[in-house]
Amino acid sequence: MRIVLLGPPGAGKGTQARRLSESTGMKHLSTGDILRAEVAAKSELGLLAKSFMDKGDLVPDSNIIAMIQQYIDDPSGVLLDGFPRTVVQAESLDKSLKEAGLPIDKVVHMSVDTDELIRRLSQRVMCTDCQTPYNLDHSAPAKAGVCDKCGGEVIARDDDKQEAVMNRMKVYQELTAPVLDYYKSHGDVAEIKAIGTPDSVFEKLSQAIGTSVSAN
């Protein structure tokens, strides 16, 4: 099974994809997480990506498309979080999946109003070592600035600074909102209002995906 989670920065795609992955065994494919790992490793891709990510711009399509190829036919099923983010990426994904004989089973659009998105992102912090996410509003680490899991340093993402957040919102409207129209013109998109507690959003998401959530 392949599920695409669409939504603006801070909509909760990562939060919900992690939970869904735990409950179904599907692979959580977050292009943001993969890129942050590349940045931490100071790889060639990471060094290139950082210059785009810190400003809140998108990494070029060609780098992203090459990066995700190895993951999309995972036999456990895939939850796509943060990809596709441009129409070019969506077309490329369709082509690759068609060649592999694999369909996209569900596209879910998670909507949240802008004030709430900005509030969530202003409270988000993350471990610089193991990438465990926290939120100072409702899920802060037990000791301020220290990761509960690995003892690493917990700080805000560079792209959660105000200027980068405003640019990410603009980039979303310009380049990623058309992906929603692309999927609507090709078939069904399930719409959920991703507000309320993470538990209540998970319930809405599970309903939108259907009870048949399973591998393959």
Q: Which residues of the chain form contacts with ligand AP5 (CB under 6 A)?
A: 7, 9-15, 31-32, 35, 52-53, 56-59, 64, 82-83, 85, 89, 120, 124, 133, 135, 139, 159, 168, 197-198, 201
Active-site residue 13, yes or no? yes
Tokens 């988000």, residue located: 124
- Residue 79: its H or E element: strand 78-81
CB nearer to ligand AP5: pick between 155 and 214: 155
Q: How far is the CB of 73 from ligand AP5 (least distance, A)?
A: 18
- As a whole number of angstroms, the distance between CA 70 and CA 79 comes to 14
Q: Hey, what are 215's tokens? A: 């591998």
Residue nearest to ligand AP5 (CB): 32
Active-site residue 85, yes or no? yes
Q: How far is the CB of 74 from ligand AP5 (least distance, A)?
A: 17
> Which residues does 43 contact at the CB level (< 8 Å), separation at least 6?
none
Q: How far is the CB of 34 from ligand AP5 (least distance, A)?
A: 8
Active-site residue 19, yes or no? no
Active-site residue 18, yes or no? no
DSSP letter, residue 173: I
Q: Hey, what are 148's tokens? A: 């509960």
> Is residue 28 within 8 Å of 21, Cβ to Cβ?
yes
Positions marked active-site: 13, 85, 124, 157, 168
